[in-house]
A and B are shown apart, each in its own frame.
Chain A
Amino acid sequence: GAVVSQHPSWVICKSGTSVKIECRSLDFQATTMFWYRQFPKQSLMLMATSNEGSKATYEQGVEKDKFLINHASLTLSTLTVTSAHPEDSSFYICSARDAGGSGELFFGEGSRLTVL
């Protein structure tokens, strides 16, 4: 099946720094990508919908200035956690929709962020 790659798979940073997470569709084009956040032993919470070439659409309660999303190409979306704090520590998962195929969503392996 199609592959979505996230990088880094885990990152530890100091409070106040910014962290960028990349989501790449390796063998298909994705006009739409989604970013989810998952707390330990909880479900995935949709943060935002990322559309190639336009501004992301954020879900209610998600700070757009805190979680910057860029979808500059059909194969890459990035999530930047700005001025990270310990409460931002979480598992972040992206998914990408295959624009040319069935429209099926494929998920990345996730990125675990730990803010000290």
Chain B
Amino acid sequence: AQSVTQLGSHVSVSEGALVLLRCNYSSSVPPYLFWYVQYPNQGLQLLLKYTSAATLVKGINGFEAEFKKSETSFHLTKPSAHMSDAAEYFCAVSDGGATNKLIFGTGTLLAVQP
């Protein structure tokens, strides 16, 4: 079975500060890993994904994540937070197989202070 754990349900940073959202995964097969962002009352938007290619993945809006197998982690970072980054962020894992089901973490609400 696959699962993801997001440490910290709430993270608050100042505008311009580093954003670090943590995600650890558990998978018995090589995982496919994803980060999604959700704005209030909206669906999910894909930020970036890891599918066994480069371990450092760059996504949209200046976000990136690094796959570390030894640490079973896929933390999301952004060098400088913007007010518009305030949203809920979800880490997700799939086995990349035929069903391609996504299993989501519990989410991290990012607040950006002016």
Q: Is there a chain A Cβ closer than 8 Å to B90's Cβ?
A: yes
Complex partner residue of B100 from A32, A41, A44, CB under 8 angstroms = A32
Report yes or no: A43 in contact with B105, Cβ–Cβ below 8 A. Answer: yes
Q: Is there a chain A Cβ closer than 8 Å to B102's Cβ?
A: yes
Interface size on A, residues (CB 8 A): 25
Report yes or no: A109 in contact with B101, Cβ–Cβ below 8 A. Answer: no
Q: Is there a chain B Cβ closer than 8 Å to A89's Cβ?
A: no
Report yes or no: B90 in contact with A43, Cβ–Cβ below 8 A. Answer: yes
Q: Which of A73-116 contact B (CB under 8 A)?
A: 91, 93, 95, 97, 103-105, 107-110, 112
B10 CB to nearest A CB, Å: 10
Interchain CA distance A32-B97 in the complex, whole Å? 12
0/1 interface trace, chain A 33-58, chain B, CB 8 Å (1 if under): 01010000111111001000000010
Complex partner residue of B103 from A46, A49, A91, CB under 8 angstroms = A46
Give chain A's interface secondary structure class: strand
Report yes or no: A44 in contact with B90, Cβ–Cβ below 8 A. Answer: yes
A52 CB to nearest B CB, Å: 14
Contacts of A109 in B (CB 8 A): 42-43
Residue from the set B90, B101, B106 with the largest chain A CB neighbour count within 10 Å: B101
Report yes or no: B104 in contact with A43, Cβ–Cβ below 8 A. Answer: yes
Contacts of A6 in B (CB 8 A): 43
Q: What are 6 inter-chain pairs, A to B, with CB distance below 8 A?
A: A36-B104, A44-B44, A46-B103, A91-B41, A95-B44, A108-B43
